[in-house]
Amino acid sequence: MKNNIKDVLIYNVGAVIVGLFISACMLFFLKVNPAEVFAEAFKKIVSDGYTTGEILVKATPLIFTALAFSFTYKANLFNIGAQGQFYAGSIVAVTLSLLLGGVVPTVPLIIILLIAVFIAGGAVGALIGLAKAKCNANEFLVSMMSTYVVAAIMDYLLRTVLRETKGEYLQTDPISKSAYLVNIIPGTRVHLGFIIAVVAAIGVWVLLYKTPLGFRIRAVGCNSNAAELSGIRSSKIYVIAFLISGGLAGIAGLTEVNGVQHMLLQNFNESIGSFGIGIAILANGNPIGVIFAALLFGFMNVMGTTMGRLPGLNIPSSIIDYIEGIVMICVIIAYFLRRYVNTRKDKKLLMKESEK
């Protein structure tokens, strides 16, 4: 087991480096020197505390969406709809913050919000789980579609009920300062949400590996027929896994609305759902690994924006998608290579033994 984790780590780190190298070479197309640009961007990130902090800020919601994917992945289910569950959480977070901000003191308010966003995201998730359990619907397809539906609901609300009082843009009024997640590192935007995220990751690890429920979820993931025969109702597990998964993605709504934007706007953090999947894969579904993988993605994110801001180079910030896509592909190929190499090693060992 230990050896296995080490192995995954070596291969994945290798894959990330190869991926970054390939994407760096793409900068030649823009007629800039990748080494120089990377060095310059890196210097900027390290020398400026605010920008360094941005890595944690960007990683925070990604930890949640990655946990959301990992959680159902352990039950061999695919929750592709973390984006929608995140939106559901965001809608609830901003609505309650606007209603209760300044009325309820900060600490109980944040606790109320935390529970509410978990329920909001969890409700969307549980519906998908129910569709899978009761109607044997394809959870992959339903969760995919749910994102678009929730996004449309969010757009509708932003255009009508939640629209700012000025009525100028499709966004809400800023929430009251008392509903902010407190800043934990002065001089940066890093907020309490990051700590909540780390705690959540550890919590998920404990839940999955140290509790009976976690055992049942993993059992259904390994072999749902065997689990069923040993008395685990897999349909129930589907709903529970999706509920928790959705809830986790919902919390990302709280950290983003109350920790970063302090309002809700259209096309809010559009791609954290799909990046969450990438992170979960990079971490091999391990909740603790998710934290580090999310930090890496956070770093790449900040790197991309920093490069985009370098004067006179005309690098699009969409290069982030590109880099992350290439890195994901490299990681997936690394999983294959690891397996291939290990099988060959095993075969050789077997051959040697049989020769003796």
Partner 1 sequence: MLNILSRAVMMCTPLMLGAMAEVYAERTGMMITSIEGIFLMGAFGGFVGTYFTGSIVLGMLIAILCGLVTAALYGGITVYMRQQQIVTGTAINILAAGFCAFFYRVLFGIPTTPLKIATLPKIEIPLLSKIPVIGEVLFDQNILTYFVYLIIPVSYFVLFRTSLGLTLRSTGENPEAVDVAGLNVNRIRFLTVLVAGAFGGLAGSFYTLGYLGMFTSGIIGGRGWIAFAICFLGNWNPKGVVIGTLVFGLADAVSIYIQAVSGGTIFPNELIIALPYILTIILTISRRSFNVPAKLGVPYFKED
Instruction: At 222, list the tokens.
Output: 């390994």
Q: Does residue 192 belong to the site contacting partner 1 (CB under 8 A)?
A: no
User: Whole-angstrom Cα distance, residue 303 to residue 19?
Assistant: 14
Cα separation of the two ends of the chain: 28
CB of 81 to partner 1, least distance (A): 11
* Helix residue spans in 48-138 (DSSP H): 49-74, 82-100, 106-135
CB of 324 to partner 1, least distance (A): 6
β-sheet bridge partners, residue 104: 101
Q: Does residue 305 belong to the site contacting partner 1 (CB under 8 A)?
A: no
Residue 283: HSE in the Cβ half-sphere, 13 Å Cα cutoff: 32
When binding is defined by CB under 8 A, the residue of 1, 2, 3, 29 that contacts partner 1 is 29
When binding is defined by CB under 8 A, the residue of 98, 131, 219, 227 that contacts partner 1 is 131
User: Whole-angstrom Cα distance, residue 276 to residue 328?
Assistant: 11
Q: Does residue 182 belong to the site contacting partner 1 (CB under 8 A)?
A: no
- Which residue's CB is nearer to partner 1, number 42 or number 335? 335
Instruction: At 25, list the tokens.
Output: 């070479």
Q: Does residue 324 belong to the site contacting partner 1 (CB under 8 A)?
A: yes
**Three-class SS state of 174:** coil
Cβ–Cβ under 8 Å, residues 135 and 246: no
Which range of residues in 40-48, 133-141, 198-206, 225-233 is near partner 1 by CB under 8 A?
133-141
**Three-class SS state of 233:** coil
User: Whole-angstrom Cα distance, residue 116 to residue 195?
Assistant: 19
CB of 16 to partner 1, least distance (A): 13
When binding is defined by CB under 8 A, the residue of 5, 17, 49, 138 that contacts partner 1 is 138
Q: Residue count at the site for partner 1 (CB under 8 A)?
A: 48
CB of 278 to partner 1, least distance (A): 7
- Tell me the Ramachandran region of residue 171: left when phi exceeds 0, alpha when psi lies from -120 to 50, beta otherwise: beta
Site for partner 1 in 8-27 (CB under 8 A): 26
Which range of residues in 145-153, 174-182, 207-215, 253-261 is near partner 1 by CB under 8 A?
145-153
Which range of residues in 190-198, 216-224, 293-301, 314-322 is near partner 1 by CB under 8 A?
314-322
- Which residue's CB is nearer to partner 1, number 109 or number 303? 303
Site for partner 1 in 66-125 (CB under 8 A): 78, 80
Cβ–Cβ under 8 Å, residues 68 and 85: yes
Site for partner 1 in 272-291 (CB under 8 A): 274-275, 277-278, 281
Q: Does residue 169 belong to the site contacting partner 1 (CB under 8 A)?
A: no
Cβ–Cβ under 8 Å, residues 237 and 75: yes
Which range of residues in 114-122, 230-238, 249-257, 271-279 is near partner 1 by CB under 8 A?
271-279
